[in-house]
Amino acid sequence: MFSDSVGKCHRMLGLLPGLVLSVVAVASCGSGGTAGSAPDSQAAAERARIEALLPDASPAQREALADGIVTAGEADRAASDVVDCAAGQGIVVTPIWQDGEMLFNTSGGRTEGSADAALTIFDKCYETYFSLVASNLSLQNSIAPDLVERRNQLVTDCLAAAGFDVGSWPDVRVEPDPAVESACIDAARGELGL
């Protein structure tokens, strides 16, 4: 069950000199397809693309994608690599979770030319350290909204049963043990047939 927009999602950008550049790295961008439909073949092609690029990916991306599921904590670690990469070149990047998506606010540059340079730096850091994580998040979250909500509740319940008071999942207050989180995700996916 994958969106027909898999692989076609994009980052949005607001360019105003001297203002914060807002770049959205998509984590969910579709309404969901049905099993056996064209979106399934698009999702399979995207998974194959991710797997082909994975050996050359950053360590955080390889770790995040090792089990095929990207958790919020894994995405946060990959996003911190984007932050460090940009900071090393004088650009301030702030990752923010909002509605299951990772947003990046990028600031730097007081003129259109320097804003463009900041975006170029961000894009390179994003491609190097986060793009495969974003693609996998998109695949994970491109199931029907009711199933996403049910999956998230099952994971939250599982984590609570294991002693982790996370509030809600995937936007957690407290980072749970990654092994427990993966087990809960697997259990929820299994229960829902995903």
User: Could you give the CA distance from residue 116 to residue 114 in angstroms, rounded to a whole number?
Assistant: 5
Q: Is 157 helix (H, G, I), strand (E, B) or coil?
A: helix
Q: Which residues have a Cβ under 8 Å from the Cβ of 178 and sit 6 or more positions away?
A: 71, 73, 74
Q: Are 33 and 147 in contact (CB under 8 A)?
A: no
CA 82, CA 59: separation in Å to the nearest integer? Answer: 12
Instruction: Give the closest residue to 8 by CA, choosing from 26, 22, 24.
Output: 26
Beta strand residue intervals within the chain, DSSP E:
21-25, 92-98, 101-107
pLDDT for 10: 28
Q: In a structure prediction context, what are the per-residue pLDDT tens digits for the chain, which is 194 residues long?
A: 223 222 222 233 333 333 333 343 333 333 344 444 445 678 788 889 999 999 999 999 999 998 888 888 899 999 999 999 999 998 999 998 765 668 888 876 555 667 788 889 999 999 999 999 999 888 887 777 788 889 889 999 999 999 998 888 877 778 788 788 888 988 988 898 87
Q: What is the pLDDT of residue 4?
A: 28
